[in-house]
Chain A
Amino acid sequence: VQLAQSGSEVRKPGESLTISCKASGYKFTGYWIGWVRQMPGKGLEWVGIIYPGDSDTRYSPSFQGQVTITADASITTAYLHWNSVRASDTATYYCVRRQGLNSITDYWGHGTLVTVSS
């Protein structure tokens, strides 16, 4: 199992941004895939998760309406999108695989650093 994340990004406040996570080594449509945020020097926070098999998507309350999670099963890739980033979005975002909605998170990507600064 591998989760290959896109590279670091720098954006100005108000710009749009999409980061990606290419999954391999397992059946993409049979597991949930999600995103976890880690702000500089801080702890872990769930952003949300998606089931690529039917695009069922769940967000943590703090992130609902702030980001969009999608998945393209044809290229086994998940995405995290912002319409308009803010300085407070500066963080490392980890892509993770989850075995089920109420199941363990067993694989992590290396993380994508997002920096938002004017």
Chain B
Amino acid sequence: ELVLTQSPDTLSLSPGERATLSCRASQAVNSNYLAWFQQRPGQAPRLLIYEATKSATDIPDRFSGSGSGSEFTLTISRLEPQDFAVYYCHDYGDSVGTFGQGTKVEVK
């Protein structure tokens, strides 16, 4: 079973700064079927990125995804107050799929 490992566990940054989140897979992700979700406290997750680089509907352009194979990155170019949340990567190329353990982006 494919395992996704996210780093770092916690990222402490200030509004306006750039955030770079990493997701590493234990084996290559089929067809780059890798997504990123944002979860704010008390809310359901929201799809940000799919197929590693494609933005979901109504997602601000400060969010971008990159990578292929087994190494993927989510970049938030300039953090807004509402971006402080937990982010999960998700592989959906392998049957049911799996999530990474999450990266919390917190206010420094």
Q: Give me the interface of A with B, judged by CB distance under 8 Å.
A: 34, 43-46, 48-49, 58-61, 94, 98, 101-106, 108-111
In the assembly, what is the distance between CA of A110 and CA of B43, in Å?
7
- Asked if residues B102 and A101 are in contact (CB atoms below 8 Å), the reply is no
Which of B1, B39, B56, B97 meets A106, CB within 8 Å?
A: B56
Query: Which residues in A have their C-beta under 8 angstroms from that of B98?
Result: 46, 60
Given contacts A43-B99, A102-B92, contact A110 B31 (CB under 8 A): no
In the assembly, what is the distance between CA of A9 and CA of B50, in Å?
33
CB within 8 Å: A-B pair count: 56
Greatest chain B CB density within 10 A among A59, A60, A104 is at: A104
**11 contacting pairs across A/B (C-beta < 8 A):** A43-B101, A44-B90, A46-B96, A46-B97, A46-B98, A60-B98, A94-B45, A101-B95, A103-B92, A106-B56, A109-B44
- Chain B residues 37-82 with CB under 8 Å of chain A are 37, 39, 44-47, 50-51, 56
Q: Give me the interface of B with A, judged by CB distance under 8 Å.
A: 1, 30-31, 33, 35, 37, 39, 44-47, 50-51, 56, 86, 88, 90, 92-93, 95-102
Nearest B residue (CB) for A47 = B96
Query: Which residues in A have their C-beta under 8 angstroms from that of B31?
Result: 102
Nearest B residue (CB) for A94 = B44
- Asked if residues B45 and A102 are in contact (CB atoms below 8 Å), the reply is no
Main secondary structure of the interface of A (DSSP, over half): strand
Known: A43-B88, A94-B44, A105-B92. 7 other contacts (CB 8 A): A43-B101, A44-B39, A44-B90, A104-B50, A104-B56, A104-B92, A106-B56
